[in-house]
Structure 1
Amino acid sequence: METTTKRTVTYRADGLTMTGHLALPAGTGLRPAVLIGPEGMGLSDVECRRADALAELGYVALAFDLHGGRYLADPEEMLARCLPLLADPDRMRDIGRAALDVVRAEPRTDPDRIAVVGYGTGGAVGLELGRDGAGLRAIGTVNALTTGRPGEAARIRCPVWAGVGSEDPIMPPAQREAFTAEMRAAGVDWRLTVYGGALHAFHHPTVDHPTVPGVGYHARHARRAWRDVLDLLAECLPLPEAVPEAVPEDPGA
């Protein structure tokens, strides 16, 4: 019985040597691909397990790096790197384009059928790829309602789904309103799901998260957000075979 394949890939972006996790489905034919962007701390087992699960379903999946192979568990160190990054769309696009180049170069990837699913800073990278006009089939974000430079959202040529916790102090109602106003003004096909009672990074298990105000894991909504991600992919990147009706549980949980 054929099985999925996993391997580490290295590539350059943002002046760093990035280390990503590539998961390939069984078989030999071309498959749609998904980039998975991590929260601000960086690539962890959570995103790698999600990439593996997508490969099991039949997608090529690359969980990409943000910090040159480092996981920034210390909140102050993470903010010191991420805040300037989030304020610089060109740097985020460089990180996203480099990951996109890696997955497009994979022989199993159908280069015309690629989506991005990002969490936190990784979601902001995905949105900037869209604003840069990258040929994506879908953009999904959780905890990343970042807005871009005026007018550039009009370059987004695919559906955008965003998820956020209702109690997220980092993405408060004013940020939701700014994001939705940008999407509406640009004529983007967008959706926003608000998960009642959830904090920032509600999808990410507590064991891997620094304890900071406004951050907290919510198991029920983590499962729901994963199902919403799979629904987005099923709509925009349908697989040659039907995905089982019994949707896999969130492997990152």
Structure 2
Amino acid sequence: MTTITTRTVAYPADGLTMIGHLALPSGTGPRPAVLLGPEGIGLSDVERRRADALAERGYVALAFDLHGGRYLSAPEEMLARCMPLLADPDRMRAIGHASLDVLRAEPRTDPDRIAAIGYGTGGAIALELGRDGVDLRAIGTVNALTTGRPGEAARIRCPVWAGVGSEDPIMSPAQRDAFAAEMQAAGVDWRVVVYGGALHAFHHPPVDHTVRPGVGHHPVHARRAWRDILGLLDECLPLTE
């Protein structure tokens, strides 16, 4: 297995001190980089392991924080923080930019070769960075077919891949259609993969706390979604260029 280096990074965003997880590949030269955002419950070992897996492949990876180092396992607390956040594109962009600044400041990062991927709220933030005109090589989201302010999707400068469960009650067929219409009208290179039978957060391993109805793990589709994300990175952010 490739030797990687990891460390926590503290940085200010949204009035909080965020605690991200940075994973560095072996070697010394600049590498392509991936910004990785968590579900609304917050940064956990799930995203840290994904960042580590990306570093093992050769990427610099930063799993960013949403809640100042906290993991919001209570659904009511998570919704109380995330719903206002998801309704405020400028707040989402500020969190995304603060995280992106940390990633760009890492000497191993090639600042011209960065992708953003995310899950749920973290995916919505990745999309808002695109709508803000950030120079990204790719945007990938799971459970985050969120639409933005009118016309701003035209500022997205890279391919967009989105995955969603067919039985996700939060990202409904109507929401999927609205997202597709926004991307198409903006001339974005976009695609949506619908994973049959999967619920919301199907990618996330089972947790030991209460979850909202309509949320559930689908191990087969979770593996497929990860392979699809890696395929997006292979296409848009190749390790040799």
Find the counterpart in structure 1 of residue 48 from structure 2: 48
The reply to whether residue 229 of structure 1 matches residue 229 of structure 2 is yes
User: 1:147-186 maps to which residues of 2 (within 5 A)?
Assistant: 147-186=147-186
Q: Is the 8 A contact 2:74 2:209 kept in 1?
A: no
Q: Is the 8 A contact 2:113 2:137 kept in 1?
A: yes
Cα distance in 1 for residues equivalent to 2:153 and 2:223:
29
1:152-208 Cα deviation digits (max 9, x unpaired): 000000000000000000000000000000000000000100000000000001125
Offset at residue 2 of structure 1 (A): 6.9
Offset at residue 240 of structure 1 (A): 2.4
Offset at residue 212 of structure 1 (A): 1.9
Evaluate the alpha carbon distance shift between residue 172 and residue 6 of structure 1 in structure 2; reply closer, same or farther with a 3 A threshold: same
How many equivalent pairs are there? 241
Q: Structure 1 stretches of 5 or more lacking a match?
A: 242-253
Q: What letter matches 1:164 in structure 2? A: V
Q: What letter matches 1:149 in structure 2? A: R
Cα distance in 2 for residues equivalent to 1:176 and 1:208:
30
Cα distance in 1 for residues equivalent to 2:162 and 2:82:
20
The reply to whether residue 106 of structure 1 matches residue 111 of structure 2 is no
User: 1:60-71 maps to which residues of 2 (within 5 A)?
Assistant: 60-71=60-71
TM-score (norm 2): 0.98
Cα distance in 2 for residues equivalent to 1:68 and 1:29:
31
TM-score (norm 1): 0.94
Find the counterpart in structure 1 of residue 93 from structure 2: 93
Find the counterpart in structure 2 of residue 194 from structure 1: 194
Cα distance in 2 for residues equivalent to 1:210 and 1:131:
33
Cα distance in 2 for residues equivalent to 1:5 and 1:210:
33
Offset at residue 3 of structure 1 (A): 1.8
Evaluate the alpha carbon distance shift between residue 175 and residue 52 of structure 1 in structure 2; reply closer, same or farther with a 3 A threshold: same
Offset at residue 99 of structure 1 (A): 0.5
Q: What letter matches 1:224 in structure 2? A: R
Structure 1 residue ranges, 4+ long, deviating more than 4 angstroms after superposition: none
